[in-house]
Amino acid sequence: MAKPIMARATAVWLVDNTTLTFKQIADFVGMHELEIQGIADGDVAVGVKGFDPVGNNQLDAAEIEKGEANPLHKLKLKFNPAAVGEEKRRGPRYTPLSKRQDRPASILWLVKFHPELSDAQVAKLIGTTKPTIQAIRERTHWNIANITPIDPVALGLCKQSELDQAVQKAVAKKSADGTVMTDDERRKLVSTEQSLGMPAEPKIDDSISGLDAFGIADDEDQKSDQDYLDADSFFNLPDSDDQPDLDDR
């Protein structure tokens, strides 16, 4: 469902100028109901000026009247003929100026922890160019000594779902090419949700079964707790009477 532009400012206007429920406003602008309640309480969107959706041709006044009369009514975005046939802009992802200096660190993180991703996939996730990715892969970047790998999701350069989708495509491509992957590579290539759902691998083999093969475990099992009650017998120390007297030497 299409959402209005300036959703937060639109929500502020609807809260201030209508009697619509928080859920109705949240569904219309694509926000959480608690956020709308926060706007009404003055805790969210402080200082944001309301944006009139009626005056900006995004919502009919009749829709607001229907919503105020019926709390179950869902507001419908006004049909805009000019938007028919409009295609989403293709090209590299736009990265804000404040985050562009973080792109090399994110590229290094993807190259290090997801080497299966192609340059095109990394460029689409981060919004960078292939020459920059190649320079970081080959460690010929002018600032490679000062770059620290950082997760692009943590930096806000891409979403976790987008990264998982790119990794899944890399998995499908490797499978189609017939490349044999180790267990570590297979765990690295799966998405975050799939990795968390996988059973934990044993860190070491069953030591008891290994000892049984050499006949060691049986001897230990035959010993009872009474054999270890005496500290001297536990450490196999000889009795004091059996110790040689230094004067007899």
**Measured distance CA(72)–CA(145) in Å, rounded:** 59
**Measured distance CA(227)–CA(204) in Å, rounded:** 29
- How many other C-beta atoms are found inside a 10 Å radius of the C-beta of residue 4? 20
Asked whether 114 and 170 are in contact (CB, 8 A), the reply is: yes
Averaged pLDDT for residues 51-66: 89
Question: Per-residue b/e over 63-93, b at no fewer than 16 CB within 10 Å?
Answer: bbeebeeeeebebebeeeeeeeeeeeeeeee
Return the structure tokens found at 43: 């805790």
Summary count for the chain: helices (H), strands (E) = 14, 0
3-state secondary structure 55-71: CCCCCCHHHHHHHHHCC
| Cut 0.75: pTM above it | no
**Measured distance CA(42)–CA(36) in Å, rounded:** 10
**Measured distance CA(128)–CA(119) in Å, rounded:** 10
Return the structure tokens found at 2: 């299409």
138-188 pLDDT tens trace: 999 999 999 999 999 888 888 888 888 898 888 788 777 765 555 555 555
Asked whether 107 and 133 are in contact (CB, 8 A), the reply is: yes
Asked whether 76 and 3 are in contact (CB, 8 A), the reply is: no
Asked whether 211 and 219 are in contact (CB, 8 A), the reply is: no
**Measured distance CA(113)–CA(229) in Å, rounded:** 53
What is the pLDDT, as a whole number, of residue 132?
92
User: What value does the mean pLDDT of the chain take?
Assistant: 76
Whether the predicted pLDDT of 216 surpasses 50:
no
Helices 33-41, 22-29: axis angle to 10 degrees equals 120
85-138 pLDDT tens trace: 444 555 556 666 777 888 999 999 999 999 889 999 999 898 888 999 999 999
228-244 pLDDT tens trace: 555 555 555 555 555 55
